[in-house]
A and B are shown apart, each in its own frame.
Chain A
Amino acid sequence: AQKVTQAQTEISVVEKEDVTLDCVYETRDTTYYLFWYKQPPSGELVFLIRRNSFDEQNEISGRYSWNFQKSTSSFNFTITASQVVDSAVYFCALMSGANSKLTFGKGITLSVRP
């Protein structure tokens, strides 16, 4: 069975603070894929990143960075110098096994205050 846990439910920060969103996953498969999606107040789901289980390199894209650690089954997401526009719900998701199904975590609501 596959499972994604996002233990933080709500985070509130002041603009320009750094913030890390945690994601812990469970799967018995050796090949799997991890994703982060953003859901702004407008409601759409925006793809942020995809990482496969064989690539543990950390990734940086502008103010966003991701830390993938197989040893702790974690795929954490850091926003540096947060902005009000970063306010959204962020979902971590897992795809593993023969199925193409995405299993989502419950999401983390991030509020960035001016």
Chain B
Amino acid sequence: DAGVIQSPRHEVTEMGQEVTLRCKPISGHDYLFWYRQTMMRGLELLIYFNNNVPIDDSGMPEDRFSAKMPNASFSTLKIQPSEPRDSAVYFCASSPSGGKDTQYFGPGTRLTVL
């Protein structure tokens, strides 16, 4: 079975540009999570969805960040406009129904904002 798929794996962009990160969760999983990993703050949850509905977006740093899940097999995390401090590895994870199940992570997208 395919795991969580993320694209692109690497993204380099210039400050002020729009960045879109994509995620395909494991088929049949009802929960989808977006995490960010930085040296300073470690791994932190940005937002998560249950059945395509955002449940908790309290970790989204500011209005420049937005996330959508238009259907059960696709989610995007958008940063507009991007800033150098957004440079990080962004992970998508999914888990089966229940909310307390194990979260399985994608390979991550390494974002560099120049």
A binding-site residues for B, Cβ under 8 Å: 33, 35, 37, 43-47, 50, 91, 95, 99-102, 104-107
B71 at the interface (CB under 8 A from A): no
Is there contact, CB below 8 Å, between A47 and B102? Answer: yes
B interface majority secondary structure: strand
Given the complex of chains A and B, what is the CA–CA distance between A45 and B33 in angstroms? 14
- Could you say which of A37, A91, A102, A106 contacts B45, with CB atoms under 8 Å apart? A102
B binding-site residues for A, Cβ under 8 Å: 31, 33, 35, 42-45, 48, 50, 55-56, 59, 89, 91, 93, 95, 99-100, 102-108, 110
- Please judge, given known A-B contacts A100-B95, A100-B100, whether A44 and B108 are in contact too, CB under 8 Å: yes
Is there contact, CB below 8 Å, between B42 and A107? Answer: yes
Is there contact, CB below 8 Å, between A100 and B99? Answer: yes
- Could you say which of B42, B55, B100 contacts A95, with CB atoms under 8 Å apart? B100
Which of chain A's residues has its CB closest to B31's CB? A100
Which of chain B's residues has its CB closest to A106's CB? B42
Given the complex of chains A and B, what is the CA–CA distance between A100 and B33 in angstroms? 9
Q: Which of A43, A50, A99, A101 has the largest count of B CB atoms less than 10 A from its CB? A: A101
Is there contact, CB below 8 Å, between A43 and B42? Answer: no
CB distance from B6 to the nearest CB of A (A): 10
Given the complex of chains A and B, what is the CA–CA distance between A107 and B37 in angstroms? 11
CB distance from A55 to the nearest CB of B (A): 13
Is there contact, CB below 8 Å, between A43 and B89? Answer: yes
- Please judge, given known A-B contacts A91-B43, A100-B55, A101-B56, whether A47 and B104 are in contact too, CB under 8 Å: yes
Is there contact, CB below 8 Å, between A44 and B105? Answer: yes
Which of chain B's residues has its CB closest to A49's CB? B102
